[in-house]
Amino acid sequence: MNALTTGLARYLDETRLQRIRQTKVGIAGAGGLGSNCAQLLVRSGFIDFVLVDFDVLECSNLNRQFFFQDQIGQPKVQGLADNLRQINPDVSVRMVQARITPESVDTIFADCGVVVEAMDTPECKQMLAAAYSRSGKLLVAASGLAGWGDSDRIAVHRIHDSFYLVGDLSSGVECGLPPMAPCVTIAAAKQADIILSWVLGDLPVGKQGGL
């Protein structure tokens, strides 16, 4: 038993820890949302991940993403996997350094019980939602978390029992708002909390309503 697992055992009983460990989480995007959500899930006891991102780390990512300066130029999936293992060396990661396409979207997270939408463009978000919002998996997506201030605007919206959306549904970089660490991390933390609550049987949470 490593140090993190020993520490978690002070707060969660074995039954709950087993539920967490046995849940495989797919994360679509290893940027501000995906990298921070992943690290929070690992700190909560999750150990089984599929990470998908085609990109490499740039200096402009460091203001909000869970990476470090010596990782600039590395594939994000590799850097994130390394960082997650620094928290818990027992983490298992299947890394996919590729874009999610209409041809791959239906199968790339086939063996995951949870899917995190952490992608940049509305088109990619819609593609993932179309594939997984009625799949029987938990889908946790995000929309509207750029800028700073009034962080209570970043809310949890329950679309239905297995589809949750985090954000204010409007503020984005396309509106001229920069992606900054506080609001991005708040949204990632809410995504992680939804997943933890779902696995432990404590959902529903948030506001009921459609898009």
pLDDT digits (tens, 9 = 90+) for 35-86: 999 999 999 999 999 999 999 999 999 999 999 999 999 999 999 999 999 9
What is the structure's pLDDT at 206? 52
**Residue 131: its pLDDT value, please?**
96
* pLDDT, the chain, mean: 93
Order of strands across the sheet that contains 155-160: 92-96, 48-52, 24-28, 114-117, 138-142, 163-167, 155-160, 207-208
Res. 203: pLDDT tops 90: no
The CATH number for 202's domain is 3.40.50.720
Q: For position 205, what pLDDT does the model report?
A: 53
CA angle 58, 48, 73 (to 5 degrees): 15
Helix, coil or strand: residue 99: coil
Predicted confidence at residue 209, as pLDDT, reads 46
Domain count within the chain: 1
Polymer length of the chain: 211
Considering the chain, what percentage of its residues have pLDDT values greater than 70?
94
Q: 100, exposed or middle or buried, with CB in 10 Å at 0-12, 13-18, 19+?
A: buried
What residues make up the domain containing 58?
3-208
pLDDT at 1 over 50: yes
pLDDT computed for residue 211 by the predictor: 39
Q: Give me the residue label for tokens 């970089």.
A: 173
Q: 50 and 38 in contact (C-beta within 8 Å)?
A: no
Which tokens in the block code for residue 197?
């609550």
pLDDT at residue 119, rounded to an integer: 95
Backbone torsions φ then ψ of 111, nearest 5 degrees: -100, 15
